[in-house]
Amino acid sequence: MTDLPMTPATDPMEVTEDIGYQRAVEAVRSGVPNADAVRLLGCDQPAAEARVHALVRELPDRAVRGEVSPGVLVAGDFGSGKSHLLEYLEQMALRDQFVVSRIAISKETPLYDLGKVFTAAIEHARAPGLSGHALEEVALLLDPTTPAYSEFYQWVFSDEAGLSQMFPATLMLHERLRTDQDLVEKIVGFWSGQKLGVSEVRAGLRQIGQAQNFQLKQPRVAQLAVERFRFASRLFAAAGYGGWVLLIDEVELIGRYSLLQRGRSYAELARWIAPSDTDGVPGILAVAAITADFDVAVLQARNDRSLVPERLSAKGTEEYFAMAERAVRGMDVIEREAMTLAPPDTTVLRRIYERLRETHGRAYGWTPPEIWQDGQPIRRGVRSHVRRWVTEWDLRRLYPETAVELEEEELCVDYEESADLERVAEPED
């Protein structure tokens, strides 16, 4: 196939099928890393890896004690490898038996809307050993005879949980009314973020003679998202998983929000990266990625440090006063606590090059020519180097008699406020 020396991938997970190499090349060519690319190319961010791995190891014990876990915010220029790092961390967490949700901030998933963030986290949740909708499959695996389930059940009914009566009521129905499949599916849907009428839950409770033991009312939408995160994280733990890891990409999109939306987004960033005992969620570890120049281009250039707390506090409610305090914490995280991804030195860049050259050869059954250039500018993003190498090998493989000349155009992140992202940013009741 190729006479290149075959060195093992640094990641312990191996890809043995040839198609895995092709998928890896296609992923790096498009600039969207996948599991195959990460397994074959590894990851060269030891400081960020070590920090996250330490927090992952601590997560189960923290959760048992009811403690929130600090998160990690990584910062890097466009193409510096932020998404590649998140993909790598996803594979590692899955291997270590954690549930993982990888989400990207977007118009459909704005950071300031915790309900939409929860919906995206559940939709994209992956659990080791399961292939379908993670929460639905985990709910099917719950065994009421196990100590883990018993502990979970007692917690849901306790004041410590801080949950509305809808959660203990639906958990009891899920356990005792398995014959009513329609209701069971609606209950799991409620846990996953869908609506469920109080009247339907009351009707189910009447079937098992428990209606008089619950004072049910529909919880506030703004609080419901927090409760769902708390409930789901404990549910995953009851099923035997180590915890829930949230990987949040493209946080820099909040730079295009209005002032009020940015303020609410900073507050939500604090919930995940610098949580307090009152606003964090035990059992969840968040790793978020943002562009390295966000603090200068947005926080400083738009004077968000002064304007955001003023704008939020001007609402005059306790809810917004608390949000203003969290927003300041969120801006502190961006300015002072973000881990800047290390740019590759020549040694690291050469190692990536050799891995990629080997991968390209395995993928297409040929020997890619040597195209490394000594003295090439290493300050460009890793993505720029990688796509250039892959493109040149592609062209030389398909058109071996044609001279290859490539031109690159630098892309800049757009922080301009977008009317398309504008909408009323009031908490829903």
More confident residue, 120 or 419: 120
pLDDT one-digit tens code per residue, 385-402: 888 899 999 999 999 887
Cα separation values, 31 from 70, 83, 108, 291, 385, Å: 29, 9, 22, 16, 11
Confidence class of residue 18 from pLDDT cuts 50, 70 and 90? low
- pLDDT score at 12: 34
Read off the pTM. Answer: 0.86
Phi and psi at residue 285, to the nearest 5°: -115, 125
pLDDT digits (tens, 9 = 90+) for 75-119: 998 777 898 999 999 999 999 999 999 999 999 999 999 999 999
How far, in Å, CA of 121 to CA of 103, rounded? 6
Tokens read off for 350: 């050469």
What confidence score (pLDDT) does residue 255 get?
A: 96
Query: Residue 422: left if φ>0, alpha if ψ -120 to 50, beta else—which one?
Result: beta
Instruction: Work out the pLDDT band at 411, boundaries 50, 70, 90.
Output: low
Tell me which of 26 and 417 has the higher pLDDT: 26
d(CA 123, CA 102): 10
Q: 19-28, 141-150, 228-237, 356-365: which range is least confident on average?
A: 19-28
Rg for the chain (alpha carbons), in Å?
Answer: 24
CA atoms within 13 A on the CB side of 152: 26
330-360, pLDDT tens digit by residue? 999 999 999 999 888 888 889 989 999 999 9
Phi-psi region of 76 (alpha: psi -120 to 50; beta: other; left: phi over 0): beta
Model confidence at 9, in pLDDT bands (50, 70, 90)?
very low
Buried b (16+ CB within 10 A) or exposed e, 283-308: bbbbbbbbbbbbbebbbeebebeeeb
**Is residue 195's pLDDT more than 70?**
yes
Which residue type, as a one-letter code, is found at position 138?
V
Can you tell me the mean pLDDT for 405-414? Answer: 61
CATH topology of domain 46-128+241-342: Rossmann fold (3.40.50)
Which tokens in the block code for residue 353?
């090059």
Domain ranges of the chain: 46-128+241-342, 137-227
Contacts of 327 (CB under 8 A, 6+ apart): 263, 264, 266, 267, 270, 308, 309, 312
> Tens digit of pLDDT for each residue in 110-151?
999 999 999 999 999 999 999 889 999 999 989 999 999 999
| pLDDT band per the 50, 70, 90 thresholds, residue 20 | confident
Cα(375)–Cα(389) distance, rounded to whole angstroms? 15
First to last CA, the chain: 63
The order of strands in the sheet holding 99-104 is 125-126, 99-104, 244-249, 284-291, 72-76, 339-340
Tell me what the pLDDT averaged over the chain comes to.
88
